[in-house]
């Protein structure tokens, strides 16, 4: 998704005018030669000659030359995956350009810094610097750089999963590049849009626009985005179950990435191929590509060799009048040295690859054995905790039953009728808690309770009391079969207990018949919300001024309502009706 930083910094380093004003002939000659290396992606050659330019610039105290080299180092280290070094170089260059108030080059450093943070997955810092770069590019009126930064922001939003923002940025960039007739930019935007559509599940549209981007890249002979095009085409075809087309696209992407020498992209494609073969049942190829991904991830550049080469060549001093001729000669020597070093590196990579394969096999085997042991231990530990939890609920239930029995004995022996009533009410509350723990140790789910079973058991005690009333009272239940969390279930049970007790005590005085209605049902107008209603056909509620404010039952109901975060209402219809509305996350 990111294209701006390499292009923009390269534009600054090699193409932007007035770079070499007041420069020495030697530094200018180096900059002229660097254009050739940049066009042919000779990264090590750029690093070598920029090091020379840095040395000369420092000797003559030429700040623009130093900053120029630091920017180049930042790009090179980023490409090599040496992100701390890249950030260090970009920030040093930024400091110089800020002091010189060079807005164009400040913009390029912002883009470079943002891209490094992006590759380090520090997306917030990356976004901050991309926005700075975008704002500055608009202030300077540089549409090309503005388009690049919009693409970078799109890549960041895509990484964060903010696909709508990513698409908006890409469409803006596409409009700019079409107006400037920048076909390379258009190709970049199209392949990035293909990735967005692939991520959002619009696979046919992803294939269409990625195919258009690929056709344009082939027309322009622009290899840089071709691996990305094929990678997106492969992923979209895979989602559409076109495994043969997907495999062909992935392998073509890998071949092109290897040809370009793009290490991060090659590693990403190796990962995709490993996952593809794993999903399609080809474990041998999956393991082969996984090993290659590991090798790319852990590979290191031979810095010591590069350092020795630079140290040997740095002793040579450019002469002002012969700088161009000597640069050509040194280029030939350097190319031979690079070719020789490359052969040595391949031999070293082969030895390291074999060693890594053996080491990987050892760690895979050990990880598999450890996984089996841990899985067995966790299963055993889970069973033990479940047994212990059920035992805890069983013991709590026994203790609550003992307390309930003691309260019952005390109530039966109490001469004071009010004391007898208080003890009976306390027994009811204890009984509600006891029933909960009884059900918890009998069920397979120790964290949730069946409300229909629970409330039926809670009301068993009240039915016995109702049978002793002078009036003939019927209990009508409408309880939905649902499981509530235990804490919420207790609150609901205690509220019902208090309200039913209130109806039994006061509602049917002087009446011969009556009914108590209890319902717990989902709210029809609001998903996730439940309605609890306790109502009777008795004498109704007393006037507001006659309510007992110090009633323990009323205070307990108020506390439970707050715990449920519920809406509580009461009315005479003509008997008493209490309703609660509360939300449950099942």
Question: Which tens digit of pLDDT belongs to each residue from 249-269?
Answer: 889 988 988 888 778 788 888
Q: What is the mean pLDDT of residues 93-117?
A: 89
Nearest-CA neighbor of 213 among 230, 196, 235? 230
Following CA atoms 394, 397, 399, 400 in sequence, which dihedral angle do they give, to the nearest 10 degrees? 170
Q: Given this model, what pLDDT does residue 198 score?
A: 85
Structure letter (DSSP) for residue 122? -
Going from the C-alpha of 503 to that of each of 183, 457, 533, 538, the distances in angstroms are 82, 18, 13, 8
Nearest-CA neighbor of 4 among 134, 141, 194? 134
DSSP assignment of 556-582 equals HHHHHHHHHT-EEEEEESSSEEEEEEE
Lowest pLDDT segment from 181-195, 227-241, 323-337, 341-355: 323-337
Q: Which of residues 208 and 80 earns the better pLDDT score?
A: 208
* 182 pLDDT more than 80: yes
End-to-end CA gap in the chain: 41
Q: CA-to-CA distance for 331 and 164, rounded, in angstroms?
A: 48
* 580 pLDDT more than 90: yes
Hey, what are 575's tokens?
């008997």
Q: Given this model, what pLDDT does residue 401 score?
A: 59
Structural domains of the chain in order of their starting residue, each with its CATH number: 471-586 (3.30.565.10)
Q: Are strands 513-522 and 472-479 parallel, antiparallel or unpaired?
A: parallel
Q: What is the mean pLDDT of residues 84-113?
A: 90
Q: Given this model, what pLDDT does residue 71 score?
A: 84
The angle formed by the CA atoms of residues 537, 542 and 547, to the nearest 5 degrees, is 130
Q: Decide: 519 and 541 in contact? Cβ < 8 Å.
A: no
- How high does pLDDT run on average in the chain? 78
Structure letter (DSSP) for residue 321? G
Residue 161 pLDDT grade (very low, low, confident, very high; cuts 50, 70, 90): confident
Q: CA-to-CA distance for 341 and 144, rounded, in angstroms?
A: 38
Residue 534 pLDDT grade (very low, low, confident, very high; cuts 50, 70, 90): very high
Q: Decide: 533 and 523 in contact? Cβ < 8 Å.
A: no
Three-class secondary structure of residue 232 per DSSP: helix
């Amino acid at each position: 998704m990111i294209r701006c930083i390499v292009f923009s910094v390269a534009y600054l380093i090699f193409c932007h005018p007035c770079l070499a004003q007041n420069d020495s002939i030697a530094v200018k000659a180096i900059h002229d030669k660097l254009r050739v290396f940049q066009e042919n992606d000779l990264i090590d050659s750029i690093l070598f000659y920029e090091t020379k330019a840095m040395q000369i610039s420092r000797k003559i105290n030429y700040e623009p030359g130093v900053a120029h080299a630091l920017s180049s180092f930042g790009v090179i280290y980023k490409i090599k995956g040496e992100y701390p070094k890249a950030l260090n170089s970009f920030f040093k260059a930024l400091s110089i350009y800020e002091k010189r108030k060079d807005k164009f080059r400040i913009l390029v450093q912002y883009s470079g810094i943002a891209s490094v943070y992006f590759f380090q997955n520090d997306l917030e810092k990356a976004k901050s610097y991309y926005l700075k770069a975008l704002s500055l590019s608009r202030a300077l009126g540089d549409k090309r750089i503005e388009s690049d930064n919009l693409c970078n922001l799109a890549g960041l939003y895509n990484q964060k999963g903010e696909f709508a923002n990513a698409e908006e940025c890409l469409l803006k960039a596409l409009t700019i590049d079409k107006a400037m007739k920048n076909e390379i930019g258009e190709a970049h935007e199209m392949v990035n849009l293909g990735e967005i559509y692939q991520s959002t599940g619009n696979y046919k549209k992803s294939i269409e626009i990625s195919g258009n981007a690929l056709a344009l890249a082939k027309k322009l002979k622009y290899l840089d985005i071709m691996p990305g095009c094929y990678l997106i085409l492969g992923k979209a075809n895979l989602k559409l179950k076109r495994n043969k087309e997907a495999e062909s696209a992935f392998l073509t992407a890998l071949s092109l990435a290897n040809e370009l020498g793009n290490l991060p992209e090659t590693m990403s494609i190796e990962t995709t191929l490993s996952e593809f073969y794993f999903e399609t049942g080809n474990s041998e190829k999956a393991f082969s590509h996984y090993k290659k991904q590991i090798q790319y991830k852990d590979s290191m550049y031979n810095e010591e060799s590069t350092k020795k080469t630079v140290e040997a060549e740095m002793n040579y001093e450019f002469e002002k009048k012969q700088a161009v001729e000597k640069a050509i000669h040194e280029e030939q020597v350097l190319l031979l040295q690079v070719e020789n070093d490359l052969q040595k590196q391949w031999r070293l990579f082969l030895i390291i690859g074999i060693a890594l394969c053996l080491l990987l096999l050892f760690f895979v085997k050990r990880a598999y054995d450890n996984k089996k042991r841990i899985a067995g231990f966790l299963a055993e530990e889970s069973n033990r905790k479940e047994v212990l939890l059920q035992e805890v609920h069983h013991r709590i239930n026994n203790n609550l039953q003992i307390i309930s029995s003691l309260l019952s004995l005390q109530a039966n022996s109490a001469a004071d009728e009010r004391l007898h009533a208080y003890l009976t009410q306390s027994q009811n509350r204890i009984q509600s808690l006891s029933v909960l723990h009884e059900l918890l140790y009998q069920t397979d789910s120790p964290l949730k309770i069946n409300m229909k079973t629970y409330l039926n058991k809670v009301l068993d005690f009240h039915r016995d009391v109702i049978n002793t009333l002078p009036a003939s009272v019927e209990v009508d239940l409408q309880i939905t079969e649902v499981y509530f969390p235990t804490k919420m279930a207790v609150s609901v049970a205690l509220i019902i207990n208090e309200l039913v007790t209130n109806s039994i005590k006061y509602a049917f005085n002087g009446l011969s018949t009556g009914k108590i209605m209890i319902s717990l049902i989902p709210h029809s107008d609001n998903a996730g919300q439940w309605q609890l209603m306790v109502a009777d056909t008795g004498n109704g509620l007393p006037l507001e001024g006659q309510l007992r404010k110090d009633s323990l039952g009323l205070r307990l109901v108020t506390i439970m309502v707050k715990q449920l975060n519920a809406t509580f209402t009461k009315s005479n219809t003509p008997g008493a009706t209490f309703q609660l509305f509360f939300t449950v996350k099942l």
